[in-house]
Structure 1
Amino acid sequence: MSTSSDSKTIAVLNGPNLNLLGTRQPEIYGRQTLADIEAMCVKHSKSKGFDLRFQQTNIEGELVSMVQEARTCAAVLINAAGYTHTSVALLDALLTVDAPVIEVHLSSPHKREAIRHRSVIAPACTGVIAGFGALSYRLALDAAIALVDGSLGITEG
C-alpha cells in the first residue's frame, strides 16, 4: 500500500478468486498469477509517475470497504470478478468515487455465460477494458492515467 499522496496513487482492487490466478481455469484467465500482474502494474505505474495500491479480497464487504478507502485516489481500477454481475452494494460504493473508475476483466464477459453479460457496476464506471488477459490491467492503467492527466482528450461521463 502506498503512503504517498493519493493524488498520484491509483487503486487496483480485485475481487473473489483472483488470488487463484495462474492455476484456476488457465485456459480462460491465463497462467500469470495475481502477483505477476501486480508486479507488472507497479512497474508500469512507476514509469508513469504514479504509485499503486493493489489489493484483493474474496469477501464482498471488504471489497466495498476497499472502494470507500480508495475514494481519495487519483483513479480506481476494479476487477470485481463475480461481484461485477451481482453486487448492488459494490455499485453503491463505486458511485461515491469522484475519480475515474475503470472496470477490468481478464476474459471477455460477453464471450462467456449469459449471466456474465451484464455488469451491475458499469453505471459507476468511466469505461471497461476486457478480454486481453493480464494486459487488460496495463491498458486500464494507461486509460486511467490519461484521464487523470487530461491527455485522453475526454472527460468522464
Structure 2
Amino acid sequence: MKIQIINGPNLNLLGTREKSIYGESGFEPFLKELSSKYNSVEFSYYQSNVEGELINKLHEVGFSYDGIIMNAGAYTHTSVGISDAIAGINTPVVEVHISNVYAREEYRHVSLMAKNCKGIITGFGLKSYELALQSFL
C-alpha cells in the first residue's frame, strides 16, 4: 500500500512553534515511528509552504497512490485551488489536523476541502495521521 502524506504551511516548524497547540515533536521523528509500526505501508512525505506546490503534488500522486493524508494547514480554510485539486484526482484524501480546529478561532471551523475528502480527523495531535492511515487499511 502506498500512502502519501502532504503537509502544508508552517508544519515544517512542528516541535518548535506553538508547542501548547502542536506538541513537542517534529514531524520527521513521528513519521519514522509510524513507518516502523506499519512496515507494510510505503510512505512518501511532502511538505510545502506554497499553495501551488501542494496542488502540483496532489496532481502528481493523485492517480497512483492508495491514499493521501493531507494537513493543508491554513490553506484548509482558504484554498479553492486545493479543494478543486482533490476533486480532480482519483486517490482518496483524508483531511487531518493536529489541533481541534473547532476549539479554535471561528474561521478555522470551515474547511473548503472537506466536501472532496473521504473524511476529516481533527484534534488528536500527531495521532490524527495514524487514525487517517487506519481508514485506508
TM category (shorter chain) comes to over 0.9
**3-state SS in 2 of match to 1:35:** helix
Letter in 2 for 1:42: S
Task: Give, in whole Å, the separation in 1 of the partners of 2:11 and 2:112.
Answer: 19
By how many angstroms is 1:44 displaced?
3.1
Equivalent in the alignment of 1:4: none
Equivalent in the alignment of 1:59: 50
Letter in 2 for 1:14: N
Task: Give, in whole Å, the separation in 1 of the partners of 2:102 and 2:45.
Answer: 26
| Equivalent of 1:122 in 114, 131, 134 | 114
Letter in 2 for 1:77: I
**3-state SS in 1 of match to 2:24:** coil
**2:83 matches 1:97:** no
- 8 Å CA contact retained: 1:17, 1:81: yes
Figure out how many residues of one structure are paired with residues of the other and give that number: 136
Letter in 1 for 2:111: S
The CA deviation string for residues 12-52 of structure 1, in whole angstroms up to 9 with x for no partner, is 00000000000100000000101122213322332xx2201
Which portions of structure 1, spanning 4 or more consecutive aligned residues, are displaced by more than 6 angstroms? none
Equivalent in the alignment of 1:75: 67
By how many angstroms is 1:136 displaced?
0.7
Task: Give, in whole Å, the separation in 2 of the partners of 1:101 and 1:81.
Answer: 15
**2:130 matches 1:138:** yes
Task: Give, in whole Å, the separation in 1 of the partners of 2:86 and 2:37.
Answer: 24
The CA deviation string for residues 80-102 of structure 1, in whole angstroms up to 9 with x for no partner, is 00000000000111112222210
Task: Give, in whole Å, the separation in 1 of the partners of 2:103 and 2:133.
Answer: 23
Task: Give, in whole Å, the separation in 1 of the partners of 2:101 and 2:14.
Answer: 17
Task: Give, in whole Å, the separation in 2 of the partners of 1:16 and 1:70.
Answer: 19
Letter in 2 for 1:78: M
Task: Give, in whole Å, the separation in 2 of the partners of 1:39 and 1:104.
Answer: 18
* TM-score normalised over the length of structure 2: 0.95
Gap runs ≥5 in structure 1: 1-7, 146-157
The CA deviation string for residues 85-136 of structure 1, in whole angstroms up to 9 with x for no partner, is 0000001111122222100100011000001000000011010111010111
| Equivalent of 2:25 in 11, 29, 32 | 32
